[in-house]
Structures are given as C-alpha cells and as structure tokens.
Amino acid sequence: MDARCVAHLDMDAFYVSVELRRRPELRGRPVIVAGTGPRAVVTTASYEARRFGVGSAMPAVRARRLCPDGVFLVPDFAYYREASREVMAVVRSHVESIEVVGLDEVYLELSGLAVPDATMRAVREAIEERTGLTCSVGIGPSKLVAKVASDAEKPRGFVVLTRAQACTRFAGAPCGLVPGIGPKTAERLRAAGIDTLGKLASADPAELAARFGRRFAAELQRRARFEDDAPVSEQRKVISESRELTFDHDIVELTTLERILGDLVNRLCVALTDQRRAGRTIGIKIRLDDFSTHTRARTLAEPVSTADRVGPVALDLLRRFGTPRPVRLLGVRVAGLEPARAGAEGQLILAL
C-alpha cells in the first residue's frame, strides 16, 4: 500500500435500508423510494428492484412500468438525516479526520494508522451493530481510488487497491466510472474512439488537447490514471443553499408561482437561520415546459438570511422574468454564504 491511505465508506442503498429498519416485513422485496407526482423520480432502489432495471434518478413512472410489483415509499428525509447522524457518530468514534460528502458517504484519512484495513473493518462492524445498516468500503492511496473501490463490489464490499491495481482493474471500464467525467464528456470521448479508462490513460496528449483543451485534457488523463492528491477536508465549504420544486403540471399563472416561491423562500430561510448562515446573492431558477432553464440573481450590499429580506428580492426577480411559457420547475437560492452576524437580522420568518 502506498504511503498515504484514504478510505471511502458508502452506505448500501441507504434510503431503502433505513426504511427497512422500520418496515422489516419488506426485506427481500423490490422496494423503491420515490415521490408520488407524475414527474417524480426514484431516490434509490433496493438491490431486488435494481434487478428489474430500476435506478436512481429514473422517472418514477418508468420504474413502475419496469417493476409493477415493487413497493413504492415516499421519501422521509428527516428520518434519513437522523439515521445519517447515527452512522457518522460511529465513524467519528473510530477515526479523527473525516470528510462527510452526503448523508450516506464519507472519506476517512487513515494515513499513519498501523493497520488501516482492520480499522475500517471495525468501523463497518460497529455501524451494522449499532444502526442495523450495511456499508461498502474502498481503501486506497487517494480519495479517487477509494471512491471507485467502494463502488466495485456492492453491497457489503471491502476493496483495497493501490493506484497501479486500480489502473489495471478498471482499464476496461467506461470513462464515466471515474468521478469528474460526466455523461457529456464521456460521450465526447466515445465520439473520439475513447470508450475505456485504459484508452483514455494512454491516449495521445496532443490529440486529446486538440479536442478538450490542454488543461482539461490533462485532468482527464490524470483521472484515468487515478492520480489524485485531494486532501480529506474535515469541513466542506458550502457556499450556497437552495430549494426548488418540480411541478406535477406546468404552471402559467404568475400569482400561483409567486405563492409557491414564497413557500420555497420560507423553507430556505428556516434552514439558513438554523445554520446561522447568511448570503449576499439571491437567485431564482426557472425551467420552462420546453426544458430550457433560466436563472436570475442579484447581489446585495449586506448578507441576508430571513424571508422578509430574501423574499422581496426573489419575488422581483420572478416578476421581471415573467412567464413567457408554462413553468415546469421553480427554485430559489442564497449564495456567498458566511456565518451570520449576531443581531444582524431578526429571527422571525415571514411569509411573502
């Protein structure tokens, strides 16, 4: 194993697994966590449901066609957040330096530990014992290797790889396997005849640079070679907070959109107040029925976090944009977040 050692711990089908804790009678059945509206998407699916082709981010309507006998559950994010806190408390009790990157995954800095593999096995066992949930673990010399390794043998996987071993094991895998190479980039690579990580790693740098630009081409090849020195950061810097809603049916009336925007602003500002954060930039997001997405933003002189300050700005942005076509999605965000100054704003959350 290389001198540096990082682990990535990823919970197995987290939302479904948490649901099964309180609904054990559903174990072994195809369970799908998804919204109920006609435009709802799948949040996650049990491994039994995945055998029918159901996957995350799939439209729930399609999931019902693929798996008509599936058990569909409405997401309960408050319950999932509480379960996540249980898991992360176990992780913190074993390893000091961690980076939480979602409700269900975390990086752990293991460098300097005498037996990192044993530490991670102990973490995994403790999580299952204390929470009843299972996870998969990847260990490597970097966050990149650890991340891909944790996905390799789910569920209950435990994969340890050096960088060289990762290069060999995943040489024939599609480029999109590696974080940072999205679907559009992977498609452009395929169009250039580069459909595996091995081909990308050995591609001619000059030819790659001609298609993607020198800096991006170099980054793509670094990822294909699993070269990564990103640190495990104990605190992620969250620079914005947002709330958005996709409608079951397109909305034309501005007054209806204004009311919905007010609800979104209130939800967002409650979260900002709880987090004691404020931001100077207020923005809205509008997706029309033709799937075009539009954003509008305004930066204020002082950071704000309450609905009586955020709401009027967001409302003015919406009114200025108007409704040229029926609206499919509406969102609001506050960016440039920083710790709120005590007494800078009242704590009252006002409706628009």
Question: Residue 230 burial (CB < 10 Å; 0-12/13-18/19+)?
Answer: exposed
Residue 351 binned pLDDT confidence (cut-offs 50, 70, 90) = very low
pLDDT given for residue 344 in this prediction = 41
Residue 291 neighbours by CB distance under 10 Å: 8
Residue 345, pLDDT above cutoff 80: no
pLDDT given for residue 18 in this prediction = 96
Determine which one of 19, 48, 99, 105 is catalytic. Answer: 105
Give tens-digit pLDDT for 94-112: 999 999 988 899 999 999 9
Active-site residue, 105 included: yes
Share of the chain above pLDDT 90, in %: 81
Q: Comparing 126 with 337, which gets the higher pLDDT? A: 126
Residue 160 binned pLDDT confidence (cut-offs 50, 70, 90) = very high
pLDDT given for residue 347 in this prediction = 36
For residue 327, the cross-strand partners are 251, 288
Share of the chain above pLDDT 70, in %: 95
CB 347 within 8 A of CB 273: yes
pLDDT given for residue 331 in this prediction = 96
**Mean pLDDT over residues 279-302, rounded?**
93
Give tens-digit pLDDT for 221-234: 999 999 999 999 87
**Mean pLDDT over residues 181-209, rounded?**
95
pLDDT given for residue 248 in this prediction = 86
Half-sphere exposure of residue 12, counting CA atoms within 13 Å on the CB side? 23
Q: Comparing 57 with 185, which gets the higher pLDDT? A: 185
**Mean pLDDT over residues 228-245, rounded?**
82
Residue 133 main-chain phi, psi, to 5 deg: -110, 150
Residue 236, pLDDT above cutoff 70: no
**Mean pLDDT over residues 301-317, rounded?**
94
pLDDT given for residue 1 in this prediction = 45
Give tens-digit pLDDT for 107-136: 999 999 999 999 999 999 999 999 999 999
Q: And the tokens for 242?
A: 């947002």
pLDDT given for residue 105 in this prediction = 95
C-alpha distances in Å from residue 21, one per residue of 35, 102, 127 = 20, 20, 14
Residue 252, pLDDT above cutoff 70: yes
- How far, in Å, CA of 311 to CA of 319, rounded? 12
Cβ burial 300-310 (10 Å sphere, 16+ → b, else e) = eeebbbbbbbb
- How far, in Å, CA of 63 to CA of 58, rounded? 7
